[in-house]
Structure 1
Amino acid sequence: MPGQALEKRTKAFAVRVIRFVESLSLSRAMESVRVQLIRAATSIGANYREANRAESKKDFLHKVSIVGKEASETFYWLELMDALGLGDSAERMALIQECNESVAIFTRIGRTLKTRLSRSRSRLGLGRGRRKERSSDRGTQTQP
């Protein structure tokens, strides 16, 4: 799915979550859950938009990993709402399904890019475990 289409999809998801939460009459005890759900759900799209404007592939990978974490957190809050039986059941289940797909999409994007970056580093001889040699590694002693 091209970046722009996924940006639209994540924004539409955020709008649906906000509308879902607004339709609930929540107690004071549930206020923090409401805030956390909206914050996490809106962060998915906001962070993905930022990822698409990353300065490098490594920066993109970092930002997409944040998106995946936000999607996973959103999934948790939706599961909690489901366990409590809050809101319209059909809409709640649709949001859970969409969020589950988001987690899968962003996990896949992150893993694919991580693999590609790792292969690129290997081809360049920059694999893990290699580091710059320091003077102390060569047995060079410093003068007192």
Structure 2
Amino acid sequence: MKSVVQEKSEEFALRIINLYQYLTGRETNREYVLSKQLLRSGTSIGANIAEAEYGISKDDFRAKMYIALKECNESRYWLRLLNKSRYLTKEEFDSIYKDSEEILKLLASITKTTSDKIKK
């Protein structure tokens, strides 16, 4: 059974893939550079969470989850740039950015809790 963070990161990755297809497939105002960066970081979140699931130690688990956290934060950067450069409407941006915020909070909590447990 998938955890909440696994499910949310997978759903987010699918939204990122759809956004990439939308941004690169438009007739006018196509965007390739920022959207490719977003595609990489946005799909990497779930991949790192999947790797963490079978980490060889608590430290390995924490490291992979921390990488997922960093990738989520990077994705948020690319989303802000796409919004500020007007490739995304405010509504499009707000919707997907909210999803990234939920994932970021979950990952921050997981990495903190794991770090606290390792210190004990």
Specify the TM-score bucket, using the shorter chain as the normaliser.
Answer: 0.7 to 0.9
The letter for the 2-side match of 1:69 is K
After superposition, residues 66-85 of structure 1 pair within 5 angstroms as 66-85=67-86
Letter in 2 for 1:20: L
Runs of 5+ in structure 2 lacking a partner? none
| Aligned residue in 2 for 1:21 | 20
Greater Rg over alpha carbons, structure: 1
Partner of 1:46: 47
Higher relative contact order (CA 8 A, sep 6+): 2
* Distance in 2 separating the partners of 1:98 and 1:42: 13
Decide which structure has greater helix share.
Answer: 2
**Structure-1-length-normalised TM-score:** 0.73
The runs of at least 4 aligned residues of structure 1 exceeding 4 Å deviation read: none
Q: CA deviation at 1:84?
A: 1.4
Amino-acid identity (%): 28
State the alpha-carbon separation in 1 of the partners of residues 80 and 17 from structure 2. Answer: 16
Give the CA deviation at 1:44. Answer: 0.3
Q: What RMSD, in angstroms, separates the aligned Cα atoms of the two structures?
A: 1.7
* Residue 101 of structure 1: aligned partner: 102
| Aligned partners of 2:12 and 2:42 also within 8 Å | yes
Distance in structure 2 (CA, Å) of the matches to 1:23 and 1:88: 13
CA contact (8 A) 1:54 1:60 kept: yes
Aligned length, in residue pairs: 116
